[in-house]
Structure 1
Amino acid sequence: MSEGGSGERRVALVTGGSGGIGSAVSRRLAADGMAVVVHYAGSAASAEAVAESITADGGTALALPGDVAEPEQMTALFDAVEERFGGIDVVVNTAGIMLLAPLAEMELEAFDRMHRVNVRGTFVVSQLAARRLRRGGALVNFSTSVTRLQQPEYAAYAATKGAVEAMTLILARELRGRDVTVNAVAPGPTATPLFTQGKSDELIARIASAAPLERLGTPEDIAESVAFLAGTGGRWINGQVLFANGGIA
């Protein structure tokens, strides 16, 4: 069993926990013995399925809803987690959306949608985590390797993730004395519906071959990085962006 400093079971909240990476993260943290709250915004059935799969494997999990960009809803979510489990030790922000277009053609409405979820949502959840994570806790935000790759059509998306990196690195310094780590994981191309949507098989194969390991990442690859940062082995990693991309950048 994963335990905090007081010997209690550690508790993790995974935003976007029903998504491709979020579900893998939820299952991986549960495998480490954490009680996991699988957050969702739109797909209750998917989140419930993830929670049920964790429970079926002997773990502890429940699915709870909320809009990450709304402070009242996220405060209620944190309240519910604390009421159910007594506290929160790990927060993982996998919730995000990706809309692609050349900068000159990107609709402002699409940019605003991404900013609301990726930037405002990360800010709202990070603020609550900063106030309420227990000692020995960890906050793991999500960036992207595209901030280094500079690929056409990704300007607006990468801009939102650049903001996430800035918040993450500064918050780590602001939490001096709290014994809480704050890091970000920056995946490269990962085989999730978010990545493969709208791409031809030929394009996916070409992207996969770009990495020295000559494959796409898997949600489980990314979950391992999160588990490291959230676990005892990552306690000396703080204020960093971990690029989990197989060497593509």
Structure 2
Amino acid sequence: MDTFYKDADICLKNISSLKQTKYSADIRIDAHISELAYTLSKLLPKGFSEEIADGYRSIFADITKELDCKQRLLLYGHTAKNEPCLTFAEKLTEMGRKKKNASAVYVKNALGDLAFERFSKHFDKLSVYYADDFESALEDVYYSKADYTIIPISSSKNGRLLHFNDLILRYEMKICMKCSVHSNTDDSESEFLLLSKNAEVFGNRDGLHFEFLLSDPQKSLISVLKAAQQYGCEYVSSFTFPEKDHAVIELDISQGDINALCLYLFLEFPRHIPMGIYNVI
């Protein structure tokens, strides 16, 4: 046990130097892990199983060693298991599953009909009914009257539609799919989202995107984008809303380590809001 406490204290002494590296996601995560090691060491009761202590030593003794993402997830399982970002990451194992007997609600119009046609191809059967306005449609999903709703999120004429972004956050919706549709009247293009109460992933890994809301982007955006690049994720777009002091970030994660990125966001930016892991169809 004395050796274990010594190892934990060594970990603690490394924290300040580790945190001086601003943009290395792995080093910053290891710094958090070293803090947890120290905390655990102080909580161990006298007579604690030497076998278990040896297990902790094997993980924490050398803070400079590479720790893979699965180890990190296990270590933080008791505090992070219910975090939306980590739940999203776990959903990647369920890709390709089609939901049966699902229902959707949306405001009927020409572009909405085209989006519904695109989304419905990913279901065995998707029944539909119509709402008078977009907020009513989101309320129906929120109160489980329907499984999904379809809303526009941007257009080539007006850019990102802030009002709809606010509705997604207000009703705690998750993005399941995104598609683009073309207007036959003015040759404009609009992006539509398929939304649900729950995080769901359809399709395959190719072209998979991750979207999340980040507070105080002036201070945090550079760090997040550097971490995303380190974990193999590709920047797609960002929409900053200065009046609300937040930004919506979209990344292509098809070749990246989404588990590691989600854990990094959970540790470094706990106020971020995951909005969905989805395919662009």
More helix by share: 1
TM-score between both structures, scaled by the size of structure 1: 0.32
More strand by share: 2
Q: Larger Cα Rg: Structure 1 or Structure 2?
A: 2
TM-score between both structures, scaled by the size of structure 2: 0.29
